Amino acid sequence: MIDINPNFAAVKQGLIPLTPQEKIKQEKDGLDVLQDIYRYAETGFASIADDDFERFKYYGVYRQKPKDSGYFMMRTKIPGGQLTGAQAKVLSSLADQYGHGFSDITTRQTIQMHWLKIENIPDIFAQLQAVGIITSGACGDITRNVVGCPVAGIDPDEILDATPQLIEVSRHMTNNKEFSNLPRKYKISVSGCCIRCAQPDINCCSVFGLKRGDEAGYGIMVGGGLSSAPHLAQTLPFFIKPEQVWPVVKAVSEIFRDEGYRLKRTRARFKFLVADWGVEKMAAEVQKRVAFPIEAHTDFSVPRDQETDHLGIHAQKQAGLFWVGVNFAGGRVRDGKLAKIGELAEKYCAPGQDAIRLTAKQNLLILNVPEANLPALKAELDANGLVYDSSNFRKGCVSCTGIEFCNLAVAETKNRMISLVEQLETTSGWYKDKIRIHFSGCPSSCGQHQIADIGFRGARTKINGEMVDAYDAFIGGRLGHNRRFNELLKGKIIAKDVHLFIDKLLRIFDAKKQDGENFADFCDRVPKEEILAAINA
């Protein structure tokens, strides 16, 4: 029995048995694989050492399903999802050149491509670098893309613009060998959004906007995460000034690096350490690691509704300028549409202010559009099949990669979500309330199904002797006010019946809801057994 703390010191001193992943990290830092990637591009897929496949992740490169196919997926690193028109066009061009003409917007505000070969990677890196995009830290046991509010700096209602703090945190945590050997992946959000759209409740380390009288600053949550053992982040009793954000995040990150569990991969996420230590011990340890006293704070009001993606057309705080949200069901972008968005941003944004923001719900926004340009922009969006006036079904859909490319998934999700939205817009067009529907292909919850109004987790079942895709349905999840993970309602709904199940569930909600009650409130009030009985009637 191991009775010592299975942390970084124990690993370095050889006091605990190493997992395969810890062994790989001890032998060579993941950031040191870059030159090997270029070498393997010359020698070919068959020459790649197994351990280096694991290290490739540190530059956003994963083996695509099946693992011996010779194909890779790649994630980019786009802090806060902030793109220019030129960057969007290069990303689209790379997808056309090497990725079968499509890419995906992820829940961490970045772009993911598929069907890449090792010999393509150097040119992809070069084209990305030419427009200021990197992939370092996009995957692996390292800090993933730092997310934030997509309307930071332009939202009239924001608490404060967190862009400077987000960029500072991302810069310090990227290509930094002080933080390139963490126990597991590490997810950070930094936002001053008044509705906390960057989802601090489910990130490992989350800085969120906070008001104290007339002063604007930040609070911090730690220890959130989903997967098969979901945890809601806990708020530390701090008021953090803008210039203190990086030192505090650095202290939290050092705690994860030094004290996070490394004996078992299933217990290595930061959320397990936070749950074991508790808020008091975590806050005390953070204070020890910074050179200034962090001000105490206990009044943390929670937004009523943080489940939005800032879609639609809205006036910015900058006079005469607007942002325009464009929706992509499940985040999939095809047929050069990302390049078209880049072109439209360059054409219709205020001169020299072309800006695109990817969102955590797999959509994007075009910023800084003068009011006089809105009619022409909308006309071109319409002409190119780009949806800015979305149904609630389309607004609220999120999907993981699914069995199409992922080695963990057991069911199709991405294309299923695209077709589901179209089905619901046809068969359930009567429904007008807000609803959030998420798909995950497995318990890892990359589609964040546990926080959805209606969340589906991939499964398999047998129909007439044949195995088919099915989904377990969960209801009632939400973040922010009265936050909670959803609960299982019904298992193994076959794929072709999912839209019918949703339609029936929404009809039950519509018939039984009370005045002003949203779907999550309804699921709180009405017992699941009663809802399921009505579904099965």
> Shortest CA distance to 471 belongs to which of 451, 494, 450, 488?
494
The percent of residues in the chain predicted with pLDDT above 90, rounded, is: 92
Confidence check: pLDDT of 2 > 60: no
Distance, first Cα to last Cα, the chain: 52
Give me the CATH code for the 163-296 domain, please. Answer: 3.30.413.10
Predicted confidence (pLDDT) per residue in 112-166, tens digit: 999 999 999 999 999 999 999 999 999 999 999 999 999 999 999 999 999 999 9
Using DSSP's 3-state secondary structure scheme, residue 471 falls into: strand
**Range 246-272 average pLDDT:** 97
- Rounded (5°) CA angle 179-183-189: 60
> Shortest CA distance to 105 belongs to which of 126, 122, 91?
91
Concatenate the DSSP letters of all residues of 206-246 into one string.
EEEEEEETTEEEEEEEE--B-TTS-B--EEEEEEE-GGGHH
pLDDT of residue 1: 38
Q: Which amino acid is at 250?
A: K
> Shortest CA distance to 9 belongs to which of 248, 181, 185, 184?
181
Give me the CATH code for the 395-536 domain, please. Answer: 3.30.413.10
The pLDDT-based confidence of 319 (bands split at 50, 70, 90) is very high
Query: What's 473's DSSP letter?
Result: E
Confidence check: pLDDT of 386 > 50: yes
* Residue 402, Ramachandran bin (φ over 0: left; ψ between -120 and 50: alpha; else beta): left
Predicted confidence (pLDDT) per residue in 463-481, tens digit: 988 999 999 999 999 998 8
Query: Are 163-296 and 395-536 the same fold in CATH?
Result: yes
pLDDT of residue 95: 98
CATH-assigned architecture of domain 29-130: Alpha-Beta Complex (3.90)
Confidence check: pLDDT of 240 > 70: yes
pLDDT of residue 307: 61
Confidence check: pLDDT of 4 > 90: no
Predicted confidence (pLDDT) per residue in 62-102, tens digit: 999 999 999 999 999 999 999 999 999 999 999 999 999 99
CB 225 within 8 A of CB 268: no
Extents of the domains making up the chain: 29-130, 163-296, 395-536
**Range 361-380 average pLDDT:** 98
CB 316 within 8 A of CB 156: yes
- Global pTM value: 0.96
